[in-house]
Amino acid sequence: KNSVAKATHAVCRLNTRHRLCLSGTPIENNLGELWSLFAFLMPGLLGHRTSFNRRFRTPIEKDGDVVRRHQLALRIRPFILRRTKAAVAPELPPKHIILRRITLAPKQRDLYETIRATLHAKVTQEIAAHSLAHSHVIVLDALLKLRQVCCDPRLVKLPSARLADTSSKLEALLEMVGEMIAEGRRILLFSQFTSMLDLMKPPLTAAGIRFVELRGNTHDRAAPVRSFEAGEVPLFLI
């Protein structure tokens, strides 16, 4: 997706009759990624990067131009095949989503409000100075810190976070996992923070709950899958 990466330049020079792109998120951060994919897939379809930015990316991302967005969608639609989970795995049962709202502990809530107020001022100043379109990194970093403090204050690398020594979310999670395993359930537990998985493991071990783990640096990825599918452990941290 990165049009200036060496790997991108290398694959674009390959001499081949057929080209395919496989991606779960053809547009993850901006339309420049979509242009990069098609520059490899069908060179020229979306024009030069500069003209693409002027004709599509800038009007769509900055101005919310619905007409240009529709034009771009029509142009790429014949070359995109979207396969949904229902199409590729019809045997899966319907997914049920249960939202459980958790009240933060007093110290955790105070820390959240402190960080929120500080980041709000920082983000506001940044947007005023450089516009929202050029402040994505600051905004995403602010959202990341707020998500982290909701999970566990220890995830936030700030001195003030050390004063909040409890995590309502972790306590609720451990209670839920214990009850579900006692009922004979087998659980896939996902977290976007590997550091959050690290915080879960000591109390799980102390509670006698056996688990396996799969993360980015797992070398033998098949082993934990086999162990969980064989019923050797009831919990899979991912």
DSSP 25-55: -SSSS-HHHHHHHHHHHSTTTT--HHHHIII
Burial, 5: exposed, middle or buried (Cβ in 10 Å; 0-12, 13-18, 19+)? Answer: exposed
Query: pLDDT value at position 161?
Result: 65
Query: pLDDT value at position 126?
Result: 84
Query: pLDDT value at position 32?
Result: 93
Give the span between the Cα atoms of 56 and 162, in whole angstroms: 46
Give the span between the Cα atoms of 2 and 33, in whole angstroms: 6
pLDDT tens string 44-80: 999 999 999 999 999 998 888 999 999 999 999 999 9
Predicted TM-score of the model (pTM): 0.66
114 has a pLDDT exceeding 80 = yes
Burial, 111: exposed, middle or buried (Cβ in 10 Å; 0-12, 13-18, 19+)? Answer: buried
